[in-house]
Structure 1
Amino acid sequence: MTPEQMRDASLLELFSLEAEAQTQVLSAGLMALERNPAQPDQLEACMRAAHSLKGAARIVGIDAGVSVAHVMEDCLVAAQEGRLLLRAEHIDVLLQGTDLLMRIATPGDQDGEASVPAFLAQMAAVLDPAAPVVAPPAPLPVVAEPTPPVSTPGSLGEPEPELESGSVRKLGKRGGEGGERVLRVTADRLNSLLDLSSKSLVETQRLKPYLATLQRLKRMHGQGMRALDGLKTQLEDSGQGPEVLEALAQTQQLLAETQQILLQQAADLDEFGWQASQRAQLLYDTALACRMRPFADVLAGQSRMVRDLGRSLDKPVRLIVEGEKTQVDRDVLEKLEAPLTHLLRNAVDHGIELPERRLLAGKPSEGTVRLRASHQAGLLILELSDDGAGIDLERLRQSIVERALSPAETVAQMSEAELLTFLFLPGFSLRDTVTEVSGRGVGLDAVQHMVRELRGSIELTQVAGQGCCFHLEVPLTLSVVRSLVVEVGGEAYAFPLAHIERTVEVPADAIVQIEGRQHFWHDERHVGLVAASQLLNRPTPQGDEQSLRVVVIREREQLYGVAVERLIGERVLVVMPLDPRLGKVQDISSGALLDDGSVVLIIDVEDLLRSVDKLLSTGRLERIERGSRSGKGAVRKRVLVVDDSLTVRELQRKLLGNRGYDVAVAVDGMDGWNALRSDDFDLLITDIDMPRMDGIELVTLVRRDQRLQSLPVMVVSYKDREEDRRRGLDAGADYYLAKASFHDDALLDAVVELIGGAQG
């Protein structure tokens, strides 16, 4: 809040701000005192915070706040003077008082004051050594701010914390590092500032071609001056009159003056361009830094939540955080809060054992949950581990078989990593009964979904009897991405560096064919090779280069080489979201501007790899040829087979392929329609009954398209009724063949009848 806002704010608003800051001090201090009740610095900090809140509440006339803060202060003073030894029961009551103070200070919360008498009664019992300590009810859900539970489909109604991507934290928290003044700025304004600063940085780069033109003009001007000097010598030798020589001298003087002006202007523009680019870069860096916040901002209340949940389950648990000052984009922090809360609750509920079991296993009675944050190659690396019991793999196998997710024989042969992936399936749980706290596994599909929305990944590992570890990798910022810019089909595309294993130049003779697919040897393994031009529907490059420039990309365990035309270089790109009216653009996540102002599309690597798998499964992956373009041989005719039955599809592909036709396949009508629009074929063979788009719809679209309306179409169907034949022919098919009666020769004869032999 700015000084002006401070002057204009009401006393109640100021009290609310102070309560927010002081209750944070109280929560942190009380949890530290629970582990070591005799820490004088923590006792002093908590006592001063309660005293400050008492005075502030008295000034604004909130008697309930005065009463609560006063008894808390008395309790802390008694602990300071040694008259009271703080135990976990006392900490419970004091933390409840901390929550109550925050509720009293929150405008519009009418229930806070109603809870004061019960709290004062509990505090009276605490302060009277002769009276038994009254066990408080469950802590008030104010500090940890948990989300309401929802039922995951398939989880048999078991409640779990709701994971919402739009989770918004409260703004304007005090406690700036080093006493810095904190201003409230909306996210939209920050986004606009970053957008404008990135555009200004791009605009300053446009000065470079102007400066280059001036340098060229200087050279041309100098050539003109030298040409005039030569002309003067020739005129003097030819005996021209003084009038001609005087006119030439005036011209030379004028050019000399313009040369000085040109030199000065070029120098000034050079200086201005340098200064402008420096300031634009500083502006951009500063705007970007405004979006970055320490990772600790997402942890507000998490230590308290872990402690309170452990108390409710009779499990003493401590959260240890490392790397809390790691800087992360504020949008990433907001979207990390819900999944981290869920993982922490699971760690306490299903990871940490009861104290008796821990002691029997040789562990300390207090469980430990450790959260480590660090930077690595433009990524935020989070490791959330516990020292609990780990996952019972045998029980996991039984659960997989019981849910009919996989046959028992297959499950018995699965590795540990393969078994753990089942925990990320929707509704999967190892819980036998419904409890108030979600068990490990329930909701992990939602956690994985949110992490993937951040263009990140999550991996689970465990050691039986020693605990589990979740390894998360997400970008530090969603606003900027470090990328490798490449050229495909004459256009620029960017691969995020986080997904790039390396770039290599592969000689043409190093490409091998394995099971009909192209591979090359990399890092002691064969890596599948695909053409970026085919994936992105760009023109196939023409040439006879003897090597390929390949970007090796990795997504978890998948590794592929993507052949591109040219490597432009590494760039830090400001992400510009695509217009939402476009929907999800296949294989593309967003756009950006290069230094020269040209547009570059940023690759969605996960989507791209799905496209690769689809091409592999349908047999449509094209070969990449380099250094062997001989131009010999006739062009083979191309046939597109569209059928949702793998058996029929492959049968037709082999029959036609053996006869010499170039065959591509599609798994349904929609897939076939996309293939027809992006490539040229001589014949379409389609089934009728298919998901997403049936054969009749496909034939109708073909006949309506100006480019495809003359394409020969054959309908092959299991149905052999006259009305079905009429439907296909009425839609525009040229030939109808029933699957039940057709044989190899019938299909091949029909194809020859429609388009002739395989060679064109």
Structure 2
Amino acid sequence: MTDEPRRPSLIDLFREEARTQARVLNDGLLALDRAPRDAAALEACMRAAHSLKGAARIVGVQVGVELAHAMEDCFVAAQEGRALLDPAWIDELLRGVDIVARIGNDEDESARDAVGACVASLQARMANVTPHGAAMRREAPPPAAMASEPVPDVAAEPPPPPPPPSVSASADASPDPDAAFNLLADALRAEATQQHAPSPAPARPSASNSTSGASGTSNVAAESGRMLRVRADNLDRLLSLSGESLVESRWLKPFAQSMLRVKRVQRDSTRALDQLHETLADLKLDPRAQAALEEVRRLTAESQHLLAERLADLESFDRRSTHLSQQLYDAALQCRMRPFGDGTGGLARMVRDVARSLGKKVRWQLVGESTQVDRDILDLLEAPLGHMLRNALDHGIEAPAVRLARGKPEEGTLTLDARHTAGALLITVSDDGAGIDLDALRASIVRKKLASEETVTRLSEAELLEFLLLPGFSLRDQVTDVSGRGVGLDAVHDVVKRVRGTVRITHEAGLGTRVQLQLPLTLSVIRSLLIEVAGEPYAVPLAHVNRTLHVSRAQIEWLEGHQHIAFSGRRIGVVTAHQILDTAPPANESDAVSMIVIGDGPQTYGVVVDRFLGERMLVVQPLDPRLGKIRNITAGALMENGDPVLIADVDDWLRSVERLVAGGDLRHMQHGVAHTAERATRRVLVVDDSLTVRELERKLLAMRGYDVTIAVDGMDGWNAVRGERFDLVITDIDMPRMDGIELVTLIKRDPQLQSLPVMIVSYKDREEDRRAGLDAGADYYLAKGSFHDEALLDAVRDLIGEAYG
């Protein structure tokens, strides 16, 4: 007999149960490590071990029964006051917890071997415990016998039904799937009910009811106490669609305003008609003309009344639509958010283990456990937080004897704090240790030849601390199991930069160190500064904009072959966005220029733009991954009016500036205007039914100075080439109404157009597709699968040359 196709297997259910109970046991044991007689923690651990034993017995995993039973004996003895779970005992139980999550894996033979050693160690400790009747020496009893055990609240639980003899007799026996499945499903439902109910146990409901390992592929939504597992890509799609819905709803307001102008025009026409009526009143008009004039006045008045009513309805609909779209978007965005505590479940255990290995006593504090964090950011934070905490334990908090000698309590405090502030997520790791030895830091900087001794003495404290973020930098001379390889804070800095965040390190000598991460609340929405370059809007993430400036051209100085400007007491280089994006320079130049300051340290630059368009909250729309990495661009978005805008990759901008500086290609902005107006501009027609591809190709070509016109399909493109002059046509193949092959065929058959170069850019990259396009008359065939900006631009230059001919 086989299970139903969509029903999980028994062993899969047990593995899920084992992972759930392992989290409960882990949290409970950490609480007992701080307070060994914590009744609530003991009760939670005993229940978890008991549930695990029952589930293991049902599916015939005998090693799981033995391990859970040995752990249960320890918790019962502690509950009855016959044993005290000291740190060494907690270590053994935690080792058992590590095995619990692996015992259902048939391939993990090491877990089976480890069970015997762990059970023997726990039984050896129990041998020194005063027995309480014969119950403490029994061999794994049937589940029904649990009803007679003197354990608080356990007797009230409905005992699981006795398994078939074949199940209890051997771990290799095969229980009846249907019966066992039903028993296990009932046990899991009962356990879930217990975990959802309010309980004094230290285990968090979120940690015990969701699978942390599934965060990369699914998210868990709660509604009226029910937990639903949803695919992450479905949530991303929902957020994208809700963002587009919000953008579309905002289109109604400008439309309603344009209708108000129509209303004013109609009102003026009514007044003109009234004046005409008054002028003609003294004349004796033909009765039919008089009747017609009166009818026109009546219809005009009626239409004005109807328009006013419809405008009121439109304004009401606009308010409701915008409100509902905003609610939909907020709800979709909330589905991406998870409590900060969901991503910190293993940190308390890691802090305890590292502290014990270093011989230090540490009190762990987690603040802001319920702070909502974007799912993607939370997934990225696991490794950086681990590095920061290990760094604090090894470098910051002193050994107990040292702390006592300095007048501190022998137990140090390590705090992880997460909160929302000023529209950002602020995560802080702080300790009350010794702080950072600045003299040792200076010596390490000089020893690693990162700066001269003279330079180091002039650096401020903040500048010195920034060296801790460099790759490979460590204050440890010897490599240990905890640190010394210089990958800790460097890895933190790398992840934070990837999500457009910042890292700040502060310390007080002898009092402690604080590492603070400022991160965006979500990666789905970005607060941006809109700028215009060569007539095109671009969005620059505000997290990367240090300052916006309006400066006079007289303030820009020429020094050592480069332009500079005074900024915050130092001089920074100046470059135009036209040079970075390789677009045509501006046609006219005013006395004042608009500038954004980006970068940090010596890589700080002022980038001149045509003008500022204001700030916007944009819903990030990732570019099609088949297009590859587009230089200087990271993603796209839609503005309120539905127009697309590209989001700048500021790190790419900085690299582009460095390449320009290294190659000596920086132009003086006042000399940037050549006689472009006197030269003819090459015209390109882009034909593609994909908005993303169409806009990307248009912007790439426009940035290089080409005059670009777009067509949405083959028929639209055919009408365009017959009505205007173009130097090149770039077309897709699969399009509605007329495909690219038909378009190429028509162009090459037309006597007036047959000399017009045509390039096909298509996802079809098979040899037969390429041959069909070239046979139809195409001059170039470029596959989108290998598409990137330089390939397209190189092909265009090969066909028609540079933008200005």
Shift of 1:708: 7.5
Shift of 1:37: 1.6
Shift of 1:337: 1.2
Asked if structure 2 preserves the Cα contact closer than 8 Å seen for 1:423 and 1:442, the reply is no
Match of residue 139 from structure 1: none
Match of residue 28 from structure 2: 29
Alpha carbons of 1:52 and 1:701: their partners in 2 closer, same or farther (altered >3 Å)? closer
Match of residue 74 from structure 1: 73
51-60 or 275-284: which moved more? 51-60
CA–CA distance in structure 2, aligned partners of residues 457 and 216 of structure 1: 48
CA–CA distance in structure 2, aligned partners of residues 678 and 254 of structure 1: 53
1:86-165 → structure 2 map (5 Å cutoff):
86-105=85-104, 109=108, 111-129=110-128
Shift of 1:305: 1.5
Match of residue 348 from structure 1: 393
Asked if structure 1 preserves the Cα contact closer than 8 Å seen for 2:478 and 2:484, the reply is no
CA–CA distance in structure 2, aligned partners of residues 232 and 408 of structure 1: 95
- Percent of aligned positions that are identical: 50
Q: Which amino acid aligns with 2:118?
A: F
CA–CA distance in structure 1, aligned partners of residues 45 and 515 of structure 2: 34
CA–CA distance in structure 2, aligned partners of residues 585 and 709 of structure 1: 20
CA–CA distance in structure 2, aligned partners of residues 305 and 577 of structure 1: 36
Asked if structure 1 preserves the Cα contact closer than 8 Å seen for 2:220 and 2:229, the reply is no
Q: Which amino acid aligns with 2:86?
A: R
Match of residue 430 from structure 2: 385
Q: Deviations over 1:632-680 (max 9, x none)?
A: x999xxxxxxxxxxxxxxxxxxxxxxxxxxxxxxxxxxxxxx9x9889x
Alpha carbons of 1:464 and 1:229: their partners in 2 closer, same or farther (altered >3 Å)? closer
Q: Which amino acid aligns with 1:36?
A: A
Match of residue 479 from structure 1: 524
Match of residue 279 from structure 1: 324
1:302-341 → structure 2 map (5 Å cutoff):
302-341=347-386
TM-score (norm 1): 0.69
Determine if the alignment matches structure 1 residue 253 to structure 2 residue 302.
no
Shift of 1:334: 1.1
CA–CA distance in structure 2, aligned partners of residues 249 and 374 of structure 1: 70
CA–CA distance in structure 1, aligned partners of residues 507 and 90 of structure 2: 33
Asked if structure 1 preserves the Cα contact closer than 8 Å seen for 2:218 and 2:229, the reply is no
Match of residue 46 from structure 1: 45
Shift of 1:87: 0.8
Asked if structure 2 preserves the Cα contact closer than 8 Å seen for 1:54 and 1:66, the reply is yes
Match of residue 605 from structure 1: 650
14-23 or 301-310: which moved more? 14-23
Match of residue 592 from structure 1: 637
Matched residue SS, 2:351:
helix
57-66 or 367-376: which moved more? 57-66
Shift of 1:536: 3.0
Shift of 1:331: 0.9
Asked if structure 1 preserves the Cα contact closer than 8 Å seen for 2:525 and 2:619, the reply is yes
Determine if the alignment matches structure 1 residue 442 to structure 2 residue 496.
no
TM-score (norm 2): 0.65
TM-align CA RMSD: 4.3
Q: Which amino acid aligns with 1:29?
A: G
Shift of 1:543: 4.9
Shift of 1:55: 4.1
CA–CA distance in structure 2, aligned partners of residues 219 and 701 of structure 1: 52
Match of residue 223 from structure 1: 268
Alpha carbons of 1:534 and 1:377: their partners in 2 closer, same or farther (altered >3 Å)? farther
Shift of 1:465: 5.4
Alpha carbons of 1:66 and 1:677: their partners in 2 closer, same or farther (altered >3 Å)? closer
Asked if structure 2 preserves the Cα contact closer than 8 Å seen for 1:503 and 1:551, the reply is yes
Match of residue 646 from structure 1: none
Alpha carbons of 1:306 and 1:703: their partners in 2 closer, same or farther (altered >3 Å)? closer
Match of residue 736 from structure 2: none
Q: Which amino acid aligns with 1:449?
A: D
CA–CA distance in structure 1, aligned partners of residues 365 and 559 of structure 2: 50
Q: Which amino acid aligns with 1:96?
A: R
Match of residue 563 from structure 1: 608
385-394 or 65-74: which moved more? 385-394
Matched residue SS, 2:128:
coil
Q: Which amino acid aligns with 1:65?
A: G
Shift of 1:416: 5.6
- Pick from 208, 213, 218 the counterpart of residue 169 of structure 1: 213
Asked if structure 1 preserves the Cα contact closer than 8 Å seen for 2:583 and 2:705, the reply is no
CA–CA distance in structure 1, aligned partners of residues 7 and 795 of structure 2: 66
Alpha carbons of 1:449 and 1:33: their partners in 2 closer, same or farther (altered >3 Å)? same
Alpha carbons of 1:227 and 1:446: their partners in 2 closer, same or farther (altered >3 Å)? same
Alpha carbons of 1:377 and 1:600: their partners in 2 closer, same or farther (altered >3 Å)? farther
CA–CA distance in structure 2, aligned partners of residues 481 and 703 of structure 1: 35
Alpha carbons of 1:459 and 1:610: their partners in 2 closer, same or farther (altered >3 Å)? farther
Alpha carbons of 1:398 and 1:263: their partners in 2 closer, same or farther (altered >3 Å)? closer
Match of residue 365 from structure 1: 410
1:664-743 → structure 2 map (5 Å cutoff):
none
Alpha carbons of 1:596 and 1:472: their partners in 2 closer, same or farther (altered >3 Å)? same
Shift of 1:453: 2.1
Matched residue SS, 2:338:
strand
Q: Which amino acid aligns with 1:27?
A: N
Matched residue SS, 2:227:
coil
Determine if the alignment matches structure 1 residue 290 to structure 2 residue 290.
no
Matched residue SS, 2:102:
helix
Asked if structure 2 preserves the Cα contact closer than 8 Å seen for 1:379 and 1:498, the reply is no
Q: Deviations over 1:325-364 (max 9, x none)?
A: 2222111111121222233334334544443444444443
Match of residue 537 from structure 1: 582
Q: Which amino acid aligns with 1:25?
A: V
CA–CA distance in structure 2, aligned partners of residues 423 and 468 of structure 1: 13
CA–CA distance in structure 1, aligned partners of residues 803 and 635 of structure 2: 35
Asked if structure 2 preserves the Cα contact closer than 8 Å seen for 1:174 and 1:182, the reply is no
Asked if structure 2 preserves the Cα contact closer than 8 Å seen for 1:339 and 1:447, the reply is yes
CA–CA distance in structure 2, aligned partners of residues 410 and 251 of structure 1: 88
Q: Which amino acid aligns with 1:479?
A: S
595-604 or 45-54: which moved more? 45-54
Q: Which amino acid aligns with 1:264?
A: E
Matched residue SS, 1:478:
coil
Asked if structure 2 preserves the Cα contact closer than 8 Å seen for 1:349 and 1:439, the reply is no
Q: Which amino acid aligns with 1:82?
A: G
Q: Deviations over 1:174-197 (max 9, x none)?
A: 998898432212221111111111
Matched residue SS, 1:534:
helix
Q: Which amino acid aligns with 1:571?
A: R
CA–CA distance in structure 1, aligned partners of residues 468 and 444 of structure 2: 10
CA–CA distance in structure 1, aligned partners of residues 450 and 602 of structure 2: 22
Matched residue SS, 1:185:
strand
CA–CA distance in structure 1, aligned partners of residues 601 and 337 of structure 2: 27
402-411 or 323-332: which moved more? 402-411
Match of residue 666 from structure 1: none
Match of residue 453 from structure 1: 498
Shift of 1:595: 0.5
Asked if structure 2 preserves the Cα contact closer than 8 Å seen for 1:574 and 1:592, the reply is yes
Matched residue SS, 1:338:
helix
Q: Which amino acid aligns with 1:38?
A: R
Shift of 1:301: 0.8
Alpha carbons of 1:446 and 1:521: their partners in 2 closer, same or farther (altered >3 Å)? closer
Q: Deviations over 1:132-186 (max 9, x none)?
A: xxxxxxxxxxxxxxxxxxxxxxxxxxxxxxxxxxxx9334999988984322122
Alpha carbons of 1:223 and 1:678: their partners in 2 closer, same or farther (altered >3 Å)? closer
Alpha carbons of 1:109 and 1:468: their partners in 2 closer, same or farther (altered >3 Å)? same
> What are structure 1's unaligned runs of at least 5 residues?
132-167, 636-673, 680-699, 712-760
Asked if structure 1 preserves the Cα contact closer than 8 Å seen for 2:477 and 2:484, the reply is no
Q: Deviations over 1:114-133 (max 9, x none)?
A: 433322222222223369xx
435-444 or 115-124: which moved more? 435-444
Q: Which amino acid aligns with 2:94?
A: L
238-247 or 521-530: which moved more? 521-530
CA–CA distance in structure 2, aligned partners of residues 710 and 205 of structure 1: 39
Determine if the alignment matches structure 1 residue 238 to structure 2 residue 237.
no
Asked if structure 1 preserves the Cα contact closer than 8 Å seen for 2:704 and 2:803, the reply is no
